[in-house]
């Protein structure tokens, strides 16, 4: 436990650094185990995006932005009448209070 509040607590033990391949002694070379899946490894090749792919990407971003904008406008249009009704009720309450 630290003597001072500002001094951080020291770790209780040092982390052990294990070199690669030495992590589990006695582990067989077939690790990880095959759980019924084939050992065929597939590779994923990522190529440069072309002009058509870039255009489709921009269209998708624009479509997403348009949908988000419509949702925002819809939320404002739903709250606009509610705020208007509350303002009218407040104005009528102020008039009644004056009388």
Q: For the ranges 6-10, 16-20, 44-48, 56-60, which has the lowest average pLDDT?
A: 16-20
**Structure letter (DSSP) for residue 6:** S
Cis peptide before 32 (omega within 30 of 0): yes
Residue 12: DSSP 8-state: S
The pTM of the full predicted model, rounded to 2 decimals, is 0.41
Top pLDDT among 14 and 39 is at 14
Measured CA distances, 66 to 58, 62, 71, 73 (Å): 12, 6, 9, 10
Between the two ends of the chain, the Cα-to-Cα distance in Å is: 71
Confidence check: pLDDT of 26 > 60: no
Q: Is 46 helix (H, G, I), strand (E, B) or coil?
A: coil
Q: Where do the structural domains in the chain lie, given as residue ranges?
A: 48-99
């Amino acid at each position: 436990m630290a003597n001072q509040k500002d001094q951080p607590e020291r770790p209780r033990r040092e982390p052990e650094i294990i070199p690669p391949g030495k992590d589990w002694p006695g582990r067989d070379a077939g690790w990880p185990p095959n759980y019924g899946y084939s050992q065929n490894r597939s590779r994923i090749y990522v190529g440069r995006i072309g002009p058509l792919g870039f255009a489709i990407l921009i269209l998708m971003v624009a479509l997403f932005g348009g949908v988000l904008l419509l949702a925002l406008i819809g939320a404002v249009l739903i709250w606009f009448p509610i705020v208007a009704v509350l303002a009218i009720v407040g104005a009528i309450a102020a008039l009644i209070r004056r009388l």
